[in-house]
Structure 1
């Protein structure tokens, strides 16, 4: 079958790969209907995430129809329309039972590298390097889904494929950030990044009762999407001093919650961007923490900061003194989507969460390299390139 693959740093290809088969009684095979690019895929593309191999199939945000079921699967039948969470969770280990699904002890069959990097291994993710399990990705006609009774969710009638697609990763990642940052009614929430995850974090904060939500970015089309489809306020960080503007909006205090949804390749108009970029390129640090720094400085005393953007290793000039002396709570996580997807699908069915606007460019698998190029360069207002493996 045809698939979009990683061929090397900044080299994306389309090639024939073997079709997946049932390997475990709890597996299903999904015929992929739609599969989206994600900002974290750009870290793979740029070579910032280790353990990629030429020929690895990319993609971790997808929906489709069940094509085959293993004998132990109880919740799904052939023909069911499902959305699949991007992280693999067994449902049996201590972490899954505690609702910390992306930390599953059994979802990553190759935890050695993450144990070396972070002290302990985390769960596995489709199409996201051999460090996170080596699972084949979703930019293909078919994909094997392990632990399917836990990770695949039936899409309600009336929810379009284009809407359900983003219940796989963008929406539950946003929900993870807002929920674990403990957004409360009346809070002021600031979100750095107006991509799919940032927009969904903003929407989640609004659903949880935040009084004001402000999203920070520099791309006009993304900021317009936030205002039109999410209903949040926006700031262009190239036009204003963001911490000063946030203090002005909050009576001098700063936001109660700051959510960083940018990750390791953050941009900034100031001189620190060049500093971070040079150190990252020289491998003196693995990540550019510009947005995280700003979030920490902008957050009110005693507030909560949450990192949703993907980070790989170590950063320089981290403002630990601000975290400690301002009495901030600093958290981060990969998404625990198994907890949130049922709620998100219900909200989607009631038009309280809308995501179709994120799919700005829908194309065939053959256009995979061009789709990734457009997505990386933000060409033609591309927010997400989405592939339709069936044509």
Structure 2
């Protein structure tokens, strides 16, 4: 079958790979209908995520049709249209039983890598390095989906492919940041990043009752999407002092909840960003914590910071003193999508959560390298590239 493969730093290629097959009785094979680029994929391209190998099929956000079913699958049948959670989870271990699906003990077939890097291994993820299980990704014609009864969800007939595909990763990731970040009615929420995840976090905060939501970015096409489709306020950090604007918006306190939706290649202005970028290029630190640092400094005393962006290793000049002396709660996680996807599909069906505007560039899988170039360089107003195998 045809697939988009990682061939090295900033190198992608479309080629032929073996068709997937049922390996365990709880697997299904899905024919991919839509698969989406994600900001976390850019960290693979930049070489900041370890344990990638040439020929790995990338992609983790997708929707498709079930074409083959393992003998142990109970809830899916051939012909079902399903959206698949990007994280692979068994549904039975202690972590899954407590709703911590991305920490599943059985979804990652290479746990020793994560244990070495981070102390414990996370669950598995499609197309996201061998540290996350080495699962073949979704930028392909077909995908094997392990634990399908846990991670695949039937899409309601009234929800289009273009809307439902974002229930795979962007929407549940954003919702997790708002819900697990503790957004409550009347809160003021600040979101760093106006990409797909940031927009979904902002919309989730609004649906959870936030009084005001402000989204911080510099790209006009993304800020315009926030205004038009999400309904939140926007701050262009290249034009305003974000700290002063947030104080003004909150009566001098700062936001109740700050959500970082940028990740390890954050962009900003000023000397702190230049310092982070230089150290990352020199591999003296693995990640740029610029947006996380800003969120910590600008959150109100006693507030919450939730880190949604992907980080791989270590950072420098982390403001631990601000966390302690301001009494902040700081949380972070990979996405526990199985907990949120059914609810999000219902919201999509009712029209309360719209996502199709994120798909600014829809193209053939053959154009995958071009789609990633547009996405990475933010050219032609690209927010997300969507591939149709």
Query: TM-score band, normalised by the shorter chain?
Result: over 0.9
Cα distance in 2, alignment partners of residues 72 and 121 from structure 1: 26
Q: Within 2, Cα distance between the matches of 1:116 and 1:23? A: 27
Displacement of 1:111: 1.3
Deviations 1:89-126 (A, max 9, x none): 00010000000000000000001121111111110100
Shift of 1:281: 1.1
* Equivalent position of 2:136 in the other structure: 136
Per the alignment, residue 62 of structure 2 pairs with 62
2: CA distance, partners of 1:248 / 1:262 = 24
- For 1:99 and 1:272, how far apart are their aligned partners in 2? 37
Report matched runs for 1:104-143 at 5 Å.
Answer: 104-143=104-143
Give 1:33's aligned residue.
33
Partner of 2:186: 186
**Structure 2 CA distance, aligned partners of 1:210 and 1:94?**
32
Deviations along 1:223-274, whole A, 9 cap, x unmatched?
Answer: 0000100010000000011011000010000000000000000011112111
The Cα shift of 1:22 comes to 0.5
3-state SS of the aligned residue for 2:213?
strand
SS of corresponding position for 1:127: coil
- Specify the alignment match of 2:369 in structure 1: 369
Q: Distance in 2 between matches of 1:73 and 1:106?
A: 17
**Which residue of the partner structure matches residue 310 of structure 1?**
310
Length-normalised TM-score, structure 1: 0.99
CA distance in 2, matches of 1:272, 1:309: 18
Match of 2:270 in 1: 270
**Cα-to-partner distance string for 1:328-353 (whole Å, 9 max, x where unaligned):** 00000011000000000000000000
Aligned to 1:22: 22
Structure 1, gaps ≥5 residues long: none
Partner of 1:73: 73
Aligned length: 389
TM-score (norm 2): 1.00
SS at match of 2:380: helix
1:257 paired residue number: 257
SS of equivalent residue, structure 1 residue 163: helix
String of CA shifts for 1:135-157, please: whole Å, max 9, x gaps.
00000000000000000000001
The DSSP-based 3-state class of the residue aligned with 1:278 is helix
Question: Which whole-Å CA distance do the structure 2 matches of 1:127 and 1:66 have between them?
Answer: 19
State the Cα distance separating 1:302 from its structure 2 match.
0.3
Partner of 1:213: 213
Secondary structure (helix, strand or coil) at the match of 2:340 reads: helix
2:139 and 2:122 mapped to 1: Cα distance? 23
Alignment of 1:1-391 (within 5 A): 1-389=1-389
Q: Deviations over 1:316-339 (max 9, x none)?
A: 000000000000000000110000
Q: Which runs of 5+ in 2 are unaligned?
A: none
**Partner Cα distance (1:246, 1:273) in 2:** 20
User: What's the secondary structure of 1:150's corresponding residue?
Assistant: helix
Please list every run of at least 4 consecutive aligned residues from structure 1 whose deviation after the TM superposition is greater than 6 angstroms. Answer: none
Q: Shift of residue 314 of structure 1?
A: 0.6
Structure 1 residue matching 2:334: 3-state secondary structure: coil
Q: Provide the secondary structure at the position in 1 that maps to 2:122.
A: coil
Instruction: For 1:144 and 1:267, locate their aligned partners in 2 and report how far apart those are by CA, in whole Å.
Output: 35
Distance across 2 between alignment mates of 1:353 and 1:115? 37
The whole-number CA distance in structure 2 between the counterparts of 1:117 and 1:282 is 20
